[in-house]
Amino acid sequence: MRLILLGPPGSGKGTQAQRLVHRHGIVQLSTGEMLRAAVAAGTPIGLQAKEIMANGGLVPDEVVVGIIADRIEEPDAKKGFILDGFPRTVPQAEALDDLLRKKHLKLDAVVELRVNESALLARVEKRAEETRARGEEVRLDDTPEVLTKRLAQYRSLTEPLIHYYSERRKLLTVDGMMTIEHVTREINRILTALGALEPKDHEDHAPKAAKKAAKATMKASKKPAKKVAKSAKKAAKPARKAAKAPSKTKAPKKTVKKAAKKAVKNAASAAKARKGAKTAKKAAKKLTKKRAKR
């Protein structure tokens, strides 16, 4: 499995990456961690990055791309990896696409952890407190001033990646305001439904129909409302059928029903959007008529 975790500082990327590592035995590749190690070791890259990081800026693209290109060549990354904090700019994402293409590797998904900005400062302060309590050194950039800068960088340089990956149908968004446990469960559920993860024996199996529904949800971010409604409905159909049918498949009805419900919900919101567009069209027509009369 090859996965990107995307989200602003304090959104929980590191925490979730560690949980995925723990469960699936793949490596976490955090450019932030690697750069901090380089700073601590005083390597040439570390010396170059130190000041930039302390000020909440971004290390040049070619530096981080070089780090990642070397790192994914290592044997422990063969089984898969979770990228945490990389890519952070569109050129980095393009470089990653090139790297993977050359190695004939596929990116399974990009999981965006969406959080309210107002919660981030409190989260980063908590992280600093916990680090202090463990007797470890607090990150120089975990201060309110630097966080403000890092957030501004995220908005202008990293947020465009949401569009980049949604266009490529790789983006999945998870509500990062839920509890850590809930977010983990949601990520695992999505990845299992996409076929990126093997379900654990004691867990719900996501059948083909649920998989299809998850894929429809992924595509939804790109298609126009009408198409979304159609494909979500189409995807929901076999899921609904499977939910009704006597359990021929291994999948518990609950999972299938849930997937069907979600797909139907997508269809409903797309239909709502269509209705809104219709009303707007009608209003525009009325206005044109009125003007013509005048």
Chain position carrying tokens 């129909």: 209
**Residue 209 and residue 212: Cα distance in Å, rounded?**
5
Nearer to ligand AMP, 37 or 283 (CB): 37
Assigned token pair, 18: 């560690």
For residue 175, list its beta bridge partners: 114
Specify the amino acid at residue 221: S
According to the binding rule CB under 6 A, does residue 207 interact with ligand AMP? no
Alpha-carbon separation of residue 154 from 88, 118, 150, 220 (angstroms):
8, 15, 6, 24
**Residue 227 and residue 230: Cα distance in Å, rounded?**
5
Which among 2, 13, 123, 189 is annotated as catalytic?
13
Q: Report, in angstroms and rounded to the nearest whole number, the Rg of the chain calculated over CA atoms.
A: 22
For residue 265, indicate whether it is catalytic: no
Which among 71, 114, 139, 234 is annotated as catalytic?
139
For residue 88, indicate whether it is catalytic: yes
Nearer to ligand AMP, 55 or 247 (CB): 55
According to the binding rule CB under 6 A, does residue 128 interact with ligand AMP? no
For residue 168, indicate whether it is catalytic: no
According to the binding rule CB under 6 A, does residue 52 interact with ligand AMP? yes
Residue number closest to ligand AMP, CB atom: 32
For residue 13, indicate whether it is catalytic: yes
What SS3 state is found at 244?
helix
Assigned token pair, 184: 């983990």
For residue 185, indicate whether it is catalytic: no
Residue 171 burial (C-beta neighbours within 10 Å; 0-12, 13-18, 19+): buried
Stretch that binds ligand AMP, among 53-61, 69-77, 229-237, 280-288 (CB under 6 A): 53-61
Chain position carrying tokens 């049918």: 245
Stretch that binds ligand AMP, among 55-63, 165-173, 248-256, 279-287 (CB under 6 A): 55-63
According to the binding rule CB under 6 A, does residue 85 interact with ligand AMP? yes
Shortest distance, CB of residue 28 to ligand AMP, whole angstroms? Answer: 11
Size, binding site for ligand AMP by CB under 6 A = 18
According to the binding rule CB under 6 A, does residue 141 interact with ligand AMP? yes
Shortest distance, CB of residue 173 to ligand AMP, whole angstroms? Answer: 19
**Residue 87 and residue 63: Cα distance in Å, rounded?**
12
Within 143-162, the residues that bind ligand AMP by CB under 6 A are 150
Stretch that binds ligand AMP, among 48-56, 72-80, 177-185, 192-200 (CB under 6 A): 48-56
Residue 2 burial (C-beta neighbours within 10 Å; 0-12, 13-18, 19+): buried
Which among 19, 123, 150, 170 is annotated as catalytic?
150
Residue 193 contacts residue 109 (beta carbons within 8 Å):
no
According to the binding rule CB under 6 A, does residue 176 interact with ligand AMP? no
Torsion over CA: 75, 88, 219, 115 (sign) = positive
Which among 71, 114, 127, 261 is annotated as catalytic?
127
According to the binding rule CB under 6 A, does residue 32 interact with ligand AMP? yes
| Residues engaged in binding ligand AMP (CB under 6 A) | 9, 31-32, 35, 52-53, 56-59, 64, 85-88, 92, 141, 150
Catalytic positions are 13, 88, 127, 139, 150
